[in-house]
Amino acid sequence: MMNEKQALLTVKNLEIAFGAGKRRFVAVKDANFDLYPGETLALVGESGSGKTTIGRAILGIIPTAAGTITFHGQPINQGLAAKAHRDVMRKIQMIFQDPAASLNERATIDYIISEGLLNFHLYHSEQDRREQVARMIKAVGLLPEHLSRYPHEFSGGQRQRIGIARALIMRPELVVADEPISALDVSIRAQILNLLKQFQQESQLSYLFIAHDLSVVRFISDRVAVIHNGRILELAPTAELFAHPLHPYTQSLLAAIPIPDPQLARQKQLVAYHEVVHEDPVDAPHFSEVVPGHFIYATQTELAAYRTQLAVMRS
């Protein structure tokens, strides 16, 4: 996958499996993508597709069975030295899906946000720590008096802001945002998305944005990777994917986006996806580039058909 900039994160031929023997289940198969500095790459798919599993593997929460995850050119999923592992832990942070379950109910907000600073000694003095926390709590739209309170005293949107503050105070280079707005009210979602974009513009953050809502993805992402049953089926710049979806599964996801106009919604035709089993060992499917920047999982025969289809779409 070519780009003028050096990739910050590269996932190559990644496989993640659970169990062993007859009970072995492959959750992610042959995943490939790059993520560049200052970019938001959305990983989109239905529940159980493997998108959160990839995010957790990048953070080292779960082991990988095959393939490599490379950060700044260094493999991070195979036997890192302790110092290098700590460095990666600081530079890659995660915003969790459930803001209630991801916060320690027995800790104050001050301690929750400060925990990373304390563990990694990212402050010069107690005064410096307090000032960093105060700046961050203000940046996410909360008040200084909130620092002495506990998570259960806040709404879902406020708890998610606390989770964002906890991740961003570490000054990471990459944030894995695992469905960060799916548990929030519609009125709060735009606030959180704008907050994430603001931090990205100020700090050149990179996001791996895990989601199932394509309307949200369209707003925040630079590129989109579509995943189904543990395999990335299509990857393209956001505008390209929405204008020229090629894979039948991508088309089915786009067709499922709700339309606010009732009359137009009744006229819309849903696209059912039926997975094709490839049995020809000679023409086996691979993750290939249809045109520069637009990748698809297909056989060589299918790839030629997709190129023709794309040419017709663009004409």
pLDDT (tens digit per residue) in 195-210: 899 989 988 899 999 9
- CB distance 105 to 150 below 8 Å: yes
Which two three-digit tokens encode residue 309? 């289809």
Model confidence at 181, in pLDDT bands (50, 70, 90)? confident
How far apart CA 197 and CA 108 sit, in angstroms, is 27
- CB distance 64 to 230 below 8 Å: no
Which two three-digit tokens encode residue 124? 């010069």
How far apart CA 7 and CA 58 sit, in angstroms, is 15
- Strands 231-237, 294-298: pairing is antiparallel
How far apart CA 54 and CA 58 sit, in angstroms, is 6
pTM for the model: 0.90
Closest CA to 67 of 56, 80, 54, 82: 54
How far apart CA 19 and CA 28 sit, in angstroms, is 13
How far apart CA 82 and CA 16 sit, in angstroms, is 23
Chain centroid offset of residue 103 CA: 20
How far apart CA 252 and CA 274 sit, in angstroms, is 10
Rg of the chain over all Cα atoms, to the nearest angstrom: 21
Question: 168 by DSSP, 3-state: which?
Answer: helix
Instruction: Enumerate the β-bridge partners of residue 287.
Output: 297
Q: What is the mean pLDDT of residues 57-84?
A: 91
pLDDT (tens digit per residue) in 208-252: 999 988 888 988 999 999 999 999 999 999 999 999 999 999 999
Q: Which of 96-110, 126-140, 263-277 reaches the highest mean pLDDT?
A: 126-140
Question: 272 by DSSP, 3-state: which?
Answer: coil
Question: 61 by DSSP, 3-state: which?
Answer: coil
How many helices (H) and strands (E) the chain has is answered by 11, 12
How far apart CA 188 and CA 192 sit, in angstroms, is 7
**What structural domains does the chain harbor?**
9-314 (3.40.50.300)
On the question of pLDDT at 277 being above 80, the answer is: no
Could you tell me which residues come within 8 angstroms of residue 143 by beta carbon, excluding any fewer than 6 positions away? 137
Model confidence at 2, in pLDDT bands (50, 70, 90)? very low
More confident residue, 73 or 79: 73
The percent of residues in the chain predicted with pLDDT above 70, rounded, is 94
pLDDT of residue 4: 59
More confident residue, 188 or 204: 204
Q: What is the mean pLDDT of residues 132-156?
A: 93
Helices (H), 121-185: 126-139, 156-168
pLDDT of residue 3: 53
